[in-house]
Amino acid sequence: MITIRTALPAEYAAIGELTYDAYATDGLLANDSGYADELRDAEHRATHCDLLVAIDEQGRLLGTVTFCLPGSPFAELSREGQAEFRMLAVAPAHRGRGVGSRLVRECLDLATRHGARSVVLSTKPQMASAQRLYDRFGFSRLPQLDWAPMPGVELLAYRKSL
Sequence ranges of the domains in the chain: 3-116
**pTM for this prediction:** 0.94
Q: Residues 140-146: what's their mean pLDDT? A: 97
Asked if pLDDT for residue 122 goes beyond 80, the answer is yes
The average confidence (pLDDT) of the chain is: 94
pLDDT of residue 150: 81
pLDDT of residue 33: 61
Confidence band, pLDDT 50/70/90 cuts, at residue 130: very high
The secondary structure of 71-133 as a DSSP string is TSTT-SS--TTEEEEEEEEE-GGGTTSSHHHHHHHHHHHHHHHTT-SEEEEEE-TT-HHHHHH
- C-alpha 145/C-alpha 143 separation (Å) is 5
pLDDT tens across 18-77, in order? 999 999 988 877 665 678 888 999 999 999 999 999 999 999 999 999 999 999 999 999
pLDDT of residue 29: 78
Q: Given CA atoms 43, 86, 112, 4 in this order, what sign does their dihedral have? A: negative
CATH for 3-116 is 3.40.630.30
